[in-house]
């Protein structure tokens, strides 16, 4: 995959690896505003935004896609996302090895189709990333189990006309029922976009959220259910 954004610390090994996954018909460079915000907040992190491996088949000269949305259905979405993960996962493993970044220090930050990829990655490769931040996304299908070593942070515009915010609400409910570790922030009146309000909530979650598994290890107890969603 091409890598239009790879920002590394000025010196020393990266303390974190943050990988940004763009939406369908877009490209890695489009994630630059969020990448800059993360780089400013976490200067010792490696911030990467790859281009998806496939040309967007919905038209346009430069757009890319993780998987095709042509004639997509609830049934074939699952297999298409699985095929995309088969391409993405080896790349992430190789990148972690190249930058000496361990999984717990790795965060995937996806928007729209990139968020779908990130959420399904958390289910398929539990623990290969410590956190997945999903903006305006959804699961390809309702999860049967929750990741136990990856925290999910969900962000959604309440007025999203492309992927309804109800998908993120349902995802949080599923994680609560399955005893996963997840948070949800909804910005009312916001559509299908990486809105600055949601970006700031992402920074808050990255700075302040202590994973339930960390509490459990410290207390020798079963993790409590995640808190209710926050409106912002």
Catalytic residues: 112, 160, 192
Chain position carrying tokens 């780089």: 39
Q: Is the four-CA dihedral 84, 51, 165, 177 of positive or negative sign?
A: positive
Tokens (6 digits) for 160:
């999203």
Chain position carrying tokens 């994680």: 175
Show contacts of 224-230: CB within 8 Å, 24+ apart.
225/176, 225/179, 226/172, 226/175, 226/176, 226/180, 226/181, 226/182, 226/183, 227/183, 229/154, 229/169, 229/172, 229/183, 229/184, 229/185, 229/186, 230/183, 230/184, 230/185, 230/186, 230/201
Distance CA 20, CA 46 (A): 11
Distance CA 115, CA 139 (A): 9
Burial of residue 90 (number of CB atoms within 10 Å: 0-12, 13-18, 19+): exposed
Distance CA 162, CA 67 (A): 17
106: closest CA among 146, 50, 46? Answer: 46
């Amino acid at each position: 995959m091409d890598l239009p954004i790879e920002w590394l610390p000025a010196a020393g090994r990266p303390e974190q690896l943050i990988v940004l996954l763009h939406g369908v018909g877009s490209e890695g460079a489009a994630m630059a505003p969020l990448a800059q915000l993360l780089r400013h907040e976490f200067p010792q992190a490696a911030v990467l935004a790859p281009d998806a491996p496939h040309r967007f088949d919905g038209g346009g000269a430069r757009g890319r896609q993780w998987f095709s949305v042509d004639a997509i259905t609830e049934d074939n979405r699952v297999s298409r996302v699985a095929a995309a993960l088969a391409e993405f996962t080896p790349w992430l493993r190789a990148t972690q090895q190249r930058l000496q970044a361990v999984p717990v220090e790795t965060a995937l930050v996806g928007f729209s189709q990139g968020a779908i990829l990130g959420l399904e990655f958390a289910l398929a490769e539990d623990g290969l990333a410590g956190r997945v931040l999903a903006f305006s996304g959804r699961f390809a299908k309702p999860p049967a189990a929750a990741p136990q070593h990856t925290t999910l942070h969900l962000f959604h515009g309440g007025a999203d006309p492309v992927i309804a915010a109800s998908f993120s609400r349902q995802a949080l409910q599923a994680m609560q029922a399955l005893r996963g570790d997840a948070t949800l922030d909804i910005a009312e009146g916001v559509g299908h976009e990486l809105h600055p309000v949601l970006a700031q909530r992402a920074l808050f979650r990255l700075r302040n959220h202590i994973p339930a598994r960390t509490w459990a290890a410290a207390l020798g107890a079963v993790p409590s259910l995640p808190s209710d969603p926050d409106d912002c």
